[in-house]
Amino acid sequence: MRLDTPAQTLDLQAKLFRGLADPSRLAILTALCRGPLHVGAVVAATRLSQSNVSNHLRCLSECGLVRAEPRGRFVYYRLGDARVGELLQLALDLLGGVADGIAACDRYGAETAKPCI
């Protein structure tokens, strides 16, 4: 997809960050930063239900943030792009300096995230 205008770029960036705004999806992506995992291993790593993990993996896969790799009886999931992991690490680094302000911010938080990006 071409990003012909700054408005298109901003809209897609906002959509990406809305997708990352869900704690379950962030937990899954963080688990996958360590390497490919099958659904059961993602469930164990995140302590989310199997159906919740499967739904989020499908969403993340459809958006290209995660890739599925069949291996025998299992399907392993990995980050679709290593930069996703880098982005998550940058977010952690940034939080080191602004965590108090983010925690105190009452403008973000109570919104319901959409099920897919």
Residue 113 lies inside a defined structural domain of this protein: no
Predicted model pTM = 0.85
Cβ distance 75 to 39 under 8 Å?
yes
* CATH number where 52 lies: 1.10.10.10
Sign of CA dihedral 31, 32, 34, 37: positive
Span 83-111, pLDDT tens digits = 999 999 999 999 999 999 999 988 876 55
Residue 18 lies inside a defined structural domain of this protein: yes
Span 21-73, pLDDT tens digits = 999 999 999 999 999 999 999 999 999 999 999 999 999 999 999 999 999 99
Residue 19 lies inside a defined structural domain of this protein: yes
How many structural domains does the chain have? 1
Q: How confident is the model at residue 113 (pLDDT cuts 50, 70, 90)?
A: very low
State the Cα–Cα distance between residues 80 and 67, nearest whole angstrom. Answer: 5
